[in-house]
Structure 1
Amino acid sequence: MTTVEPVTRPGWPSSPFGGGEDDWLRCAGCGELQYRLRWENNLRVCPDCQHHARLDLPTRLNMLLDPGSLAEFGTEVEPRDILGFVDAKPYPRRLAEARARTGRADAVVAGTARIEGLPLVVAALDFAFMGGSVGSVAGELIARAARRALADRVPLLLISTSGGARMQEGAVSLMQLAKTSQELRRLHDAGVLTVNLNTDPTYGGATASFSMLGDVIVAEPGARIGFAGPEVVRQTIRVELPAGFQSAEFLAEHGQVDLVVPRESLRATLARLVRLHAPAAPVTPAARSPHLLTEPARVPAVEPTALVTTARNLDRPTTLDYCRGAFDEFVELHGDRLGGGDDPALVGGLARIGDRTVVVLGHQKGHDTAELVRRNFGMPQPWGYHKAHRLMTHAARFGLPLVTLIDTPGAYPGIEAERRGQGYAIARSIEHMSGLPVPVVSVVTGEGGSGGALAIGVANRVLILENAYFSVISPEGCATILFKNAALAPRAAAQLGITPGDLLRLGVVDGVVAEPPGGAHADRPGTVQRVRSVLAATLDELVALSPEELIAQRYARFAAFGDAERQAVLTVGEKR
């Protein structure tokens, strides 16, 4: 037996799932027979291989939205045969058949709705209506949905399953790419959240416009997503396509989507994304953290070489440890959107600390050799910094504070990194960060190596853990270049001014976070909670400033370095 497609019929089904008369069907993924009722109760996902069968649109919306919350608009808009197009059938006949099959005038359902009680506007394509093709009516309804979301200042959810532009409407169909894209541009400019949910399949004009322009892009496992269909690609360039080509997982690997989410978790994931972008409630300022040292005399002295060794200890908390422990909620976002990929050496996403949502990003190492290798020892490639740039833009767009966690020997000095513009990627990140209109707090948690660290360290407040360091170069690199002998790294470490006490005297950092007895590597949970305490208090100070004040304060902070009068006050040379 072959896989039985879900039944589609006019109107909304009384049950959340359609069905057929056969009791069994064969999974298109693994070929195993499945009991229909079990398959439907599992949201049409194969329990053996997790193949996600296509859903009809009523089923999809009933699965995602609060019951009875969808209030459609634009149902009076109908397509017209503007070209008199005839393929195997006249266009009007195709439209009539699609209407009879689906019970709607065209391929889009648009309306206001709620998900877990949270208001949003939804526009969803129906593959059962001429392959979800995007014609004039689809473009108009998506545009109306975007305008409604802008007027109401609520998130827009775009659900795509489409074969592309509707050829029977010629260039008018092509113009819908521009029409819908400019509406999303208005939402971006206004800081109104747009979330894409791309399902199987999403191709052509949809991916070249609204389906890939969301602030967050979510895809179902195995969904085929691309611009040109695989047969077009294969026939055009005449090569065999790689396994999994254009699958959701393929796009995630190449930095094109944020999240690949199993169907059973989609509703909760979408609700979390909407909730994390809700307007912030008034927050009672936190008390000043007792763990933040701002006077150099209070910072314990430490031998530089021992400091470097401790900073590199693999038992110290990583960025993901902080994300999961210092924050109440964390959703990791992925990808640079530029085709470089999703650099595992630099991670980030949305997080909640108390009642405040922030964007957090940081270098990620690991606690064992396998993870260190997979994370490239916390040394980002150019696409890692492009991902950081994208997350910084997200913070600015939605007025969310940015928290960065620094722990890297430096940016990766590889051939491909240089070929792909490592220097530009770092410079672009530094420049962008300097002008963000939101509070920015950076914490050096381990190694702060050179421009690779500074790329996410241009902050209003730069803090450092008691056993971390920040340096223009690693001691080994300095010794190799200036002393012609890497074994003289201890001598270089002693002269580079890399200790927290030195950095605080120089004004490079604004405070030192005291670690628990024995150090961060001996008490990860205690360290994470201390960082949370410091972050909460520091953010409370900064959110009181206007965007203009934040930018001006950050500008003044970094403009002061190299000023002769200030440097005379801040020098540490006389203490040696």
Structure 2
Amino acid sequence: MTATAPRDEQLWTRCAGCATLLYRKRLRRNLDVCPECGTHARLDAPARLAQLVDPGSFAALPDRAAEVDPIGFVDVLPYPHRLAAARGDTGLAEAVICGTARIAGHTCALAVMDFRFLGGSLGCAVGELITRTAERALAERVPLVLVTASGGARMQEGVLSLMQMATVSQAIAALRGAGVPSVSILTDPTYGGVAASFATNTDVVLAESGARMGFAGPRVIRQVTGRDLPDGFQTAEFLLRHGQVDMVVPRHALRGRLAALLAVAGRRSGGPRPAQPSADVGAAGGTGLPRGGARDAWDTVRLARHPGRPTSLDYLESAFDGFVELHGDRLGGDCAAVVGGLAELGGRPVMVIGHQKGHTTAELMARNFGMASPAGHRKALRLMRLAARWGLPVVTLVDTPGADPAVDAEEHGQAAAIAENILALATLPTPVVAVITGEGGSGGALALAVADRVLMLEHAVYSVISPEGCAAILWPDRSAAPQAARALRLTSVDLHRLGVVDALVPEPTPAAHHDPAEAVRALREAVLAHLIPLLDLPTGTLVRQRRNRFRRYGAARLGVRAGAR
């Protein structure tokens, strides 16, 4: 709906769908749904709570979002200024409201996102608060309800915002393991890192009528592919036709449908409480920083993208022994951008999975520049699960600008495929070592990088968004990409300092493509050094440490404070 006066003062508003002039009080009585055409206006988090929960039943969690600026990000404004403005405009501390409530008498833990606050972006504090809500649901054995509205991960917090996808997903995994139900409600819009993690990896996924959801936004897809999009692309109804949501529910029926689900879920979640995990025994420390002085971030980006850098297949043929490639996702696709199969490393059998680019233009095009389709992510998932059944450790090689943003990828569930990989890796009962060998781009990289140990080649990069994409959104033009690269803190040294990466793998001077054989040798030694200690850990300890690894990107690092309980 559109209007010229402040919302609280206006008497009339015009429907954004059919342009009908509507009396605001009548519109509000109709739950902000146009009575003429059925267009669902966006709701802020307080209004959504008022419509869904029993009156007077909502109790906010006693946790407050801290002031977080983990990388000192500045574009045309310092990040703290943007936060202050968002808080002043919305009256909220962050882009989510969390607490417990009753819906038709059924108790649940609830997290409701608000798109008004920096586009509902998933930052470190937001991830921490949603994680704490899931942990409350687990502790009290009550269902978790998530209402999503987001443009994706928060660029101003760099790769640490990307880590929140894994942090919240692991909390969802803990609920799954304990048999505590979870439900997400997709509202307009739900995109990027939120769509590719907790919005789509709950037990049941509802979509409000007219809501849009996807990994890449329509504008990005048009720019990348140059194609027109089909009618209704990425809408709730489109998602239902393509098997990506359980049901589409109009707003007036949403509370009743949710109550019916909670009635069933409440009967299923009344089992014994799970045993509390013991203290984290800690992750192995990383190696020291590589030799040599600091390199400009933009120069590093260009090195990471150099077509001469060794690819995953180069490493598989040289660093590993006896590689046997396995193909297909068993659902009708075999994505060439993901390769994987059985091999030996130091005489030990392993499952190796990696993104594959290529060195020539023809190879790059045949491999879709290393951008995995849903079939690629599902092939990787099949191989991970096979490794778990056979008791094999997993090594992943990450080199992708991001997941495939094509129309077909969205139609076949790109966001859900990435989310399922993140969830599976969070609980995989076998050691996982990930190596960022070139580009680590957004959720497409994280889909292979939720690991016990994360290594990174000296001149690789790992980021929530490409510098060009960040510059196009936050700077006046894309020519600011070098400046954005520096602000994003995406180099190996930056990420080692932030604790995202455990160890850096030195490259030959001046970079890996000048001496591929030496780069292969260094990677082989680094993987072995970090994999061997993991082989002796009990499964429970291994999974617990992996969960705690990503959990630390919330409370321990960010200072989200718990109030008096």
- TM-score range for the pair, normalised by the shorter chain length: 0.3 to 0.5
> Which has the larger Rg?
1
Give the alignment's TM-score, normalised by structure 1. 0.47
Q: Which has the higher contact order (CA 8 A, sep 6+)?
A: 2
Give the alignment's TM-score, normalised by structure 2. 0.48
